[in-house]
Amino acid sequence: MQVTFCRLRTHQWCFILFNVILFHALLFGADFVEEYFLHALPYVDMKVLEIKEKARKLNMEPLRSNLSKYYILSQSELCKEKNIFLLSLIFSHPGNGTRRDLIRKTWGNVTSVQGHHILTLFALGMPILVTNQQDIDKESQKNNDIIQGIFLDSAGNQTLKIIMMTQWAVTFCPNALFILKVDEEMFVNVPSLVDYLLNLKEHLEDIYVGRVIHQDTPNRDPNSQEFVPFSEYPEKYYPDYCSGKAFIMSQDVARMMYVVFKEVPIMVPADAFVGICAKSIGLIPIHSSRFSGKRHIRYNRCCYKFIFTSLETTGVEMPLAWKEISGGKECTLFETYYGLISCKLLTYFDTLKRFHMGTIKNNGMYLSD
């Protein structure tokens, strides 16, 4: 082997090198281009300035004093006089107490990273069965980490849920620098996420970051549950938006969103709704391929130490991944490199497999998929 290797001619070496480069370009090229070159600055016009001004002057007092009109469980004191770096709002279904317990025991248990305070709360609506409310009350008394809005927690009310929870954040947690919206099916690597946010430190404003979805089209099938009529949203495409499975806003963005919520059609999918709001305040979503969107990333130790999120379906990998992140040994540069290649390839294969089984609805294109 050694001997044959040494005997390769220059053009053979060139060929090998070319293939290695091609392999990496195919695997990571799109991510790289998107993350480092496709950054556009937010645009600012008179309307945006006006919204910024309104957001600065938001008066949440009427809401505070009429609290019971909006929230059943409000945890209104949790943020008081604390400097919160990251507020994680985990969107959870009222009936999924077991899932919430698993999150509490794993990634939701992080309270500080590098000395920065993390607050993790569960965001719920009302259960369909009234009897479930008693369980939620009990769970809330025990853990003090549930916010519950007054609206039915149904698939059709997810946009309303985002509005209610953003409202909660700007009202009761105005000192949280960043707000993470994440679904309960996700695994989140909080330490690596915080590390990334700390590196944005020069500007803490105008942040709306996640896995960006390009040129998603509204569902125009009148028989579908997610039907979006032309009267509601006439454009061909949604603006670029961050996948709703997990994304981050800075506090100023949350406040501006809150100002424009009322001006945007509500009958679109919740994550597209946020994207439309972002566009109307001149924001361009920042892409990071370390967010998984709605894909499951196969477990690999060093890969999981690098990524921010993965869709978790079984509940088996989560304790494992958590153990590694909270205490496992560091990964060397080479191990991280190897981990990324292997989890990227495996994720490709998983996607292909699902594609062949025809379970992928082709809505929205990931540039880097």
Ligand X SMILES: *[C@@H]1O[C@H](CO)[C@@H](O)[C@H](O)[C@H]1NC(C)=O
* Shortest reach from residue 109's CB to ligand X, in Å: 4
Q: Nearer to ligand X by C-beta: 29 or 156? A: 156
Tokens representing 52?
Answer: 């910024």
- With tokens 């981990």, the residue in question is 339
- In this complex, which beta carbon is closest to ligand X, that of residue 42 or of residue 95? 95
Distance of alpha carbon 241 from alpha carbon 216, whole angstroms: 9
Q: Coil, strand or helix: which one is 152?
A: strand
Instruction: Enumerate residues 6+ apart whose C-beta is below 8 A from 333.
Output: none
Judged by beta carbon, residue 96 or residue 217, the one nearer ligand X is 96
Closest CB to ligand X: residue number: 156
* Closest to ligand X by CB, 156 or 229: 156
**For helices 270-280 and 251-260, angle between their N-to-C axes, nearest 10 degrees:** 100
| Least spacing, CB of residue 13 vs ligand X, in Å | 51
The backbone torsions φ and ψ at residue 174, rounded to the nearest 5 degrees and listed phi first, read: -65, -15
Q: Which is nearer to ligand X, 317 or 335 (CB)?
A: 317
Minimum CB–partner distance for residue 153 and ligand X (Å): 8
Nearer to ligand X, 16 or 129 (CB): 129
85 and 118 Cβ atoms separated by less than 8 Å: yes
Q: How far is the CB of 276 from ligand X (least distance, A)?
A: 19
CA angle, residues 35, 39, 41, in degrees to nearest 5:
155
Question: In the complex, what is the shortest distance from the CB of residue 334 to ligand X, in angstroms, rounded to a whole number?
Answer: 31
Tell me the C-alpha distance between 257 and 280, whole Å: 9
Quote the least distance from Cβ 246 to ligand X, whole Å: 15
Give the C-alpha separation, 335 to 301, whole Å: 9
> How far apart are CB 342 and ligand X at their closest, in Å?
26
Distance CA 19, CA 107 (A): 39
Looking at the Cβ atoms of 4 and 65, the one nearer to ligand X is: 65
Interface positions with ligand X (CB under 6 A): 62, 65-66, 93, 95-96, 99, 105, 109, 151-152, 154, 156-157, 160, 184-185
Q: Which is nearer to ligand X, 159 or 250 (CB)?
A: 159
Q: How many residues are recorded in the chain?
A: 369
Residue (of 283, 208, 198) closest to 243 by Cα position: 208
Minimum distance, C-beta of residue 262 to ligand X, in the bound complex (Å): 15
Q: How far is CA 105 from each of CA 108, 150, 324, rounded to the nearest angstrom?
A: 7, 27, 14
Within 13 Å and on the Cβ side, how many CA atoms surround 129? 6
